[in-house]
């Protein structure tokens, strides 16, 4: 993929090019068209042809979202959840996933109303130029800070559990370089990597849980409700901030092959991430009775270290942390891609790559600020999970309501399309 492609370029293609720069064979047509006559049909000037700019499938969207939301399962997040909610933490995670699905539905409905518009232009069409720009800028900054702290958590866990003699700055630089390179290569490469590493990551988790069954004690899950059903229930709603970075999928609106399939991929990725985090919390409670597990800085790594499969398999932790490096790089690379796309859209340019060095340096500067892994986890929980993340993921239904009030409809659905067309016409070429 040659970098970011704006909706304006998609409009130009609809007017006569009939091809996609990222693909030599894909014709520019609306999803669902078939036959030689229909294949030549040109999209209207509302920019619907931007849908043809995508090259990733529904399964790849699900894998990307799964890594984006689920990598926290292998970090210190399960420890912080059990520290806060004891044996009822896993119930709160399940409830937060259900609330997250509801919140994500609002974003998806708004995305359908603004079908064919890139994220930034869709925000401007819904909220107006000034407010739309402000919201996009705030979301971009919050994503940058969140992924920086997340990378610090992985690097810190790797240092504590596997490489105690390696400076954490070195691991941060390696992770940032890998993430920046993956973002540079483009979304298609990230999507392929996500599907490739999905199986090894899942297998590592299954091996850890199954081989540790000898230490399993279901009594460690009691008392069932932990601090109480009311507190666990309220925490479930508050923990929806765990999925606060989910609206990053909006950057994929003009990159997916069929935009109507975006819903399936996003919800599948969210449910997969919620299931993984729930299983991680349960595993932590089963194998480290509360409150002993609240002192672990990388619980899944410690579980992996406890596995003994013979004299030649005594350090599986090294293999698993090496495996988990790639999901962390995919998570960071995809977040980089989203941030860069938003920056390119706000700047009105056709490529995101010039922004990559600045974003990489900013990530390193932010990630190096916390003095410890626990401090980074505390900042991530306080800044993002418990505040900004809740606001971002809840914004979807607000955008949907405003879009309905402004009578914004997808191309071809009828109604007042003046706002929709104005925003497309103003997209820089």
CATH numbers and ranges of domains, the chain: 55-425 (1.20.1740.10)
Closest CA to 103 of 252, 243, 286: 243
**Predicted confidence band at 422 (pLDDT cuts at 50, 70, 90)?**
low
Q: Give the integer Cα–Cα distance in Å for 307 and 303.
A: 7
Contact indicator for 152, 169 with CB cutoff of 8 Å: no
The answer to whether 342 and 120 are in contact (CB under 8 A) is: yes
Measured torsion, CA atoms of residues 28, 410, 140, 142, in degrees rounded to the nearest 10: -140
* Nearest Cα residue to 421 out of 145, 11, 6, 2: 11
Six-digit token pair at 272?
A: 């997969």
Least confident of 115-129, 314-328, 399-413: 314-328
Residues of the chain with pLDDT > 70, as a percent, come to 78
CB 151 within 8 A of CB 328: yes
- 267 pLDDT above the threshold of 80: yes
Task: Map 140-196 to HEC letters.
Answer: HHHHHHHHHHHHHHHHHHHHHHCCCCCCHHHHHHHHHHHHHHHHHHCHHHHHHHHHH
- The tens digit of pLDDT for each residue in 276-318 reads 999 889 888 888 888 777 777 778 777 777 666 656 555 566 6
Least confident range from 17-26, 148-157, 410-419: namely: 17-26
Helix (H, G, I), strand (E, B) or coil at 20: strand
- pLDDT winner (highest mean) among 32-36, 38-42, 179-183, 253-257: 179-183
Comparing 208 with 196, which gets the higher pLDDT?
196
Distance CA 98, CA 105 (A): 11
Q: CB within 8 A of 148, min separation 6: which ones?
A: 362, 363, 364, 366, 367
* Runs of H (alpha helix) within 368-410: 373-380, 389-405
Mean pLDDT of 191-195: 89
Each residue's pLDDT tens digit, 213-244: 666 778 888 888 888 899 999 999 999 999 99
Q: Give how far Cα 355 sits from Cα of 216, 306, 336, 363, Å.
A: 49, 43, 10, 12
**pLDDT single digits (tens) 360-390:** 999 999 998 888 888 888 889 888 998 999 9
3-class SS at 26?
strand
Give me the DSSP letters along 30-92: -TT--HHHHHTPPPPTTTGGGGGG--B-HHHHHHHHHHHHHGGGGTTHHHHHHHHHGGGHHHH
Place of tokens 């942390």: 321
pTM, 2 dp: 0.80
Q: Give per-residue pLDDT as tens, 103-155.
A: 999 999 999 999 888 999 999 999 999 999 999 999 999 999 999 999 998 88
Residues facing residue 23 across a β-bridge:
20
Alpha-carbon distance of 240 to 236, in angstroms, equals 7
Cβ atoms 68, 331 nearer than 8 A? yes
Task: Supply the pLDDT for residue 312.
Answer: 58
């Amino acid at each position: 993929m040659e970098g970011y492609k704006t909706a304006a370029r998609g409009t130009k293609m609809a007017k006569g090019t009939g091809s996609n720069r990222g693909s030599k064979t894909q014709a520019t047509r609306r999803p669902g068209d078939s036959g030689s006559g229909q294949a030549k049909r040109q999209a209207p000037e509302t920019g619907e042809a931007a849908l043809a700019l995508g090259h990733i499938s529904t399964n790849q969207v699900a894998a990307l979202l799964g890594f984006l939301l689920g990598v926290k399962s292998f970090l210190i997040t399960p420890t912080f959840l059990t520290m806060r909610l004891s044996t009822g933490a896993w119930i709160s995670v399940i409830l937060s996933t259900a609330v997250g699905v509801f919140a994500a539905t609002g974003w998806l409905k708004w995305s359908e109303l603004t079908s064919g518009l890139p994220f930034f232009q869709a925000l401007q069409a819904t909220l107006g130029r000034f407010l739309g720009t402000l919201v996009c800028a705030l979301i971009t900054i919050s994503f940058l800070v969140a992924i920086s702290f997340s990378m610090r958590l992985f690097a810190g866990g790797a240092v504590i559990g596997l490489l105690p003699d390696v400076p954490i700055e070195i691991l941060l630089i390696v992770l940032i370089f890998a993430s920046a390179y993956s973002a540079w290569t483009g979304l298609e490469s990230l999507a392929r990597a996500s599907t490739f590493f999905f199986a090894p990551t899942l297998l590592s988790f299954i091996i850890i849980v199954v081989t540790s069954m000898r230490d399993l004690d279901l009594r460690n899950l009691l008392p069932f409700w932990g601090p109480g059903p009311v507190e666990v229930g309220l925490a479930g709603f508050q923990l929806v901030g765990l999925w606060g970075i989910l609206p990053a999928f909006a950057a994929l609106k003009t990159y997916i092959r069929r935009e109507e399939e975006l819903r399936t991929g996003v919800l599948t990725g969210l449910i997969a991430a919620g299931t993984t985090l729930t299983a991680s919390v349960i595993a932590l409670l089963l194998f480290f009775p509360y409150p002993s597990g609240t002192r672990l800085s990388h619980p899944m790594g410690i579980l992996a270290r406890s596995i003994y499969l013979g004299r030649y398999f005594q350090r599986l932790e090294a293999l698993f942390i090496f495996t988990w490096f790639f999901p962390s790089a995919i998570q960071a690379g995809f977040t980089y891609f989203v941030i860069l796309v938003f920056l390119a859209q706000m700047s009105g340019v056709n490529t995101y790559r010039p922004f990559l060095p600045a974003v990489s340096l900013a990530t390193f500067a932010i990630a190096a600020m916390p003095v410890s892994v626990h401090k980074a986890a505390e900042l991530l929980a306080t800044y993002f999970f418990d505040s900004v993340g809740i606001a971002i993921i809840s914004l979807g239904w607000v955008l949907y309501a405003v879009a309905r009030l402004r009578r914004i409809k997808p191309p071809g659905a009828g109604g007042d399309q003046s706002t929709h067309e104005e925003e497309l016409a103003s997209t820089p070429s």
